[in-house]
Amino acid sequence: MKTGLLYGIVASSKTRVRCVFCGVFIPKANKCIEQHTNGAKHKENIELMTENGISFANDMLYCKPCRIELSEEESVTKHIESDGHANWVAAMEDLIDGEFISLDPYLNSDKEDVYCEVCHSSLQCTLQNIEAHVNGINHRTNITERLKPLNGIFPVDNDDEVWCKVCNVFIDNTARSILDHIDDDDEHMEWFAEIEDLIEEQDVSIESFLANEYEHNAFCNRCNLEISCNPQTIEAHVNSDAHLSHFP
């Protein structure tokens, strides 16, 4: 009989057992229990537990983000869909989006911390703590430095400004101005949207163009060929017979 920590099956009565993960009762027969634990819904709930910081011990489910034990009536799915849990996840994902902070190690393990890649530091995983960190001047500065070579932004002789290669404009050399340009400038965003749409699944790289001030070309790995890094040339290349001949 599949019972215990791995399967979430606990005794209920002489004739039934309960699946803690799914919040359902099952006849106390090996065939019924096997059928349930091999079912898609049960396996999906196990995956959802891993993705949402829910663990199982002492016949109880515990949600680490919400810091509560789930009642017997509350299945994994029901809890995840509850306002408290869903709001925590939404707020946390909004905070860490684009901040080089991953929530997965916190949710998938016993760790109470998350790790900020740009600041090389661990943070206690609370909404208040992470909000304070991502809005702090040190983190904003580190984010700016990480994003510059990904966005074609370079220093100039005048330390008061930086140069955006993509837009051919000068920007105040402050974290706020640079991030505003990357995130909100229409020309900058439209260039990236157009280029990324063209090179998607085409094995064309623009990383060197963005990271090197004096590089003018993108590189097609399929054709082993440099291409002038502008939308018109890239569009012509990815639609050319020579390029298409490399696809099955």
Q: What is the pLDDT of residue 6?
A: 54
The answer, yes or no, to whether residue 25 has pLDDT greater than 50, is yes
Q: What is the pLDDT of residue 5?
A: 46
The answer, yes or no, to whether residue 7 has pLDDT greater than 80, is no
Question: Counting beta carbons within 10 angstroms of the beta carbon of residue 37, is it exposed (0 to 12), middle (13 to 18) or buried (19 or more)?
Answer: buried
HSE at residue 99, side-chain half, CA atoms within 13 A, is: 25
Strand pairing partners for 55?
A: 62
**Per the structure block, which two tokens stand in for 44?**
């999906």
DSSP 116: E
Q: What is the pLDDT of residue 18?
A: 84
The residue-averaged pLDDT of 3-16 equals: 71
The residue-averaged pLDDT of 203-210 equals: 96
**pLDDT-based confidence at 248, cuts 50/70/90?**
confident
Q: Give the global pTM.
A: 0.73
The answer, yes or no, to whether residue 3 has pLDDT greater than 50, is no
Contacts of 210 (CB under 8 A, 6+ apart): 149, 150, 151, 152, 165, 166
Closest Cα partner for 77 from 31, 125, 40?
40
Average pLDDT, the chain: 91
The answer, yes or no, to whether residue 74 has pLDDT greater than 90, is no
Q: Where are any strands of DSSP class E within the chain? A: 9-11, 16-19, 24-27, 54-57, 60-63, 68-69, 101-102, 113-116, 121-124, 153-155, 161-164, 169-172, 204-205, 217-220, 225-228
**pLDDT-based confidence at 246, cuts 50/70/90?**
confident
In the block, tokens 């105040």 appear at: 172
Q: What is the pLDDT of residue 61?
A: 87
The residue-averaged pLDDT of 114-140 equals: 95
**Per the structure block, which two tokens stand in for 97?**
């989006």
Q: Alpha carbon 161 to chain centroid distance?
A: 32
Q: What is the pLDDT of residue 140?
A: 93
Closest Cα partner for 167 from 159, 154, 158?
154
Which tens digits make up the pLDDT trace of 168-203?
999 999 999 999 999 999 999 999 999 999 999 999
What is the percent of the chain where pLDDT is above 70? 98
Give the sheet arrangement for strand 60-63, strand by strand. 54-57, 60-63, 68-69
